[in-house]
Structure 1
Amino acid sequence: MINKIVPLESQHHDDVWRIERAANTFPWAESMIRKEPNNIATNFVLLVDDILVGYCYGQLVAGEATLLNIAVDPNLQGKGYGKALLEGFIDILQQRNAEDIWLEVRASNARAYKLYEAAGFNEINRREGYYPSENGREDALIMTYLVM
C-alpha cells in the first residue's frame, strides 16, 4: 500500500462530503466542504493506493495553525489512517514554520482525544456547551501542540 498526503482539490470534494456525513453526527455544511480555500488554508487528503480514505481542514496564520476538521472513512477506521493523516498534517505545518497547532475535540470523543494525546497534543482548556449533541450541548476540549 502506498499512502500519500496531498493538497485537497475540487476532485476530492465528493469523497470528502461522503466521509464527512458518514463520520459525523453533526457534519459540516456541504458548502463548507466545497468552499474554495483561501491563502491560509492547509487542507489535505490521505490517499491509500489512490483511494481517498481521510481528510483534514486547517489553517495557518502568523505561525499559529488550527486543525479545524479531520476524519477517516468509518469503514476504514482502526487501520492507523487517522494517525498517518494527523502526523502528515503536523509534518507539513512544521515545514511551513508553524509554531503551534490548536484543535478542539468533543469531550465525548475519547478515541480522537487519545489519538491527539499520543501525537503530543496537550489539553489546555474547555469550552462548555460548545458542540451540539443529541442531548443538548457538549463541551469542547481545547488542545495544543508545540511544533519543534
Structure 2
Amino acid sequence: MSDPVCAHVIRPLEVADLPEVLDIEHQGYSHPWTEGVFRDCFRDDYRLSVLKASGYIAGYTVVAYLFDEAHLLNVCVRPSDRGRGVGRQLLRHVMIEAARDNMQKLILEVRQSNTSAIALYQSEGFVLIGERPGYYPAAEGRETASVMERILV
C-alpha cells in the first residue's frame, strides 16, 4: 500500500469538512476545540486549510491574521498520519500563504511538553520568543506554552 500523503492536496477548509476535522481534533487533543469555535473562524481575517490524502483529511490548520502578523492557532494531524510529513507540509503551506499575503511573521504557542512539535518548528526556522504560564488546560491544572516566531520576509 502506498503512503497516503504522497497523493495529497492542501485546500481551504470548508464547513462540510467539520465532522471529519472535529474527529481529528478529538483524537489529537485532550481539550479539543468545539464545533462553535471552528465555525467562528470562518472569517475574512482567518485562513483555514486541510491536507487531503487519498480521499480523507490527514490534517488541518487555523491561522488568524492581525495587521502584519499571522498567528497559527491550531494545527493537528490525524494520529495515523503522524510521522509522515503532514505537519511539515501544512506548516510550510501556512508560511508560504502568509508571506504571499504580506504577513511579516508567523507566531504560535506550543505546549512545552510537546517536544516533537517544538523540534519541527525549530527545524523550520522558528525561535523561542517567550512563554505564557498556565496557557493550556491540562489533566492536572494548567501547562505553560512556549511562544515561537518565524520571520517571513
Q: TM class, shorter-chain normalised? A: over 0.9
Match of 1:44 among 32, 46, 49: 49
Inter-partner Cα distance in structure 2 for 1:147 and 1:36:
23
- Structure 1 length normalisation: TM-score? 0.95
SS in 2 for 1:56: strand
**Structure 2 residue runs without a partner (length 5+):** 1-5
> Number of aligned pairs?
148
CA drift of 1:135 comes to 1.9
Which consecutive segments of 4 or more residues in structure 1 shift more than 6 A? none
Inter-partner Cα distance in structure 1 for 2:122 and 2:44:
29
1:21 counterpart residue number: 26
1:147 counterpart residue number: 152
1:124 counterpart residue number: 129
Inter-partner Cα distance in structure 1 for 2:38 and 2:12:
14
2:109 alignment partner AA: E
SS in 1 for 2:47: coil
Deviations 1:112-144 (A, max 9, x none): 111111111111101111111112111010001
2:140 alignment partner AA: N
- Structure 2 length normalisation: TM-score? 0.92
Inter-partner Cα distance in structure 2 for 1:90 and 1:50:
25
Match of 1:64 among 55, 61, 69: 69
CA drift of 1:61 comes to 2.0
CA drift of 1:36 comes to 5.5
Instruction: Report whether the alignment pairs 1:2 with 2:19.
Output: no
Inter-partner Cα distance in structure 1 for 2:65 and 2:55:
27
1:136 counterpart residue number: 141
Please say which of residues 98-107 and 45-54 is displaced more in the overlay. 45-54
- Percent identity reads 34
Instruction: Report whether the alignment pairs 1:33 with 2:38.
Output: yes
Instruction: Report whether the alignment pairs 1:114 with 2:119.
Output: yes
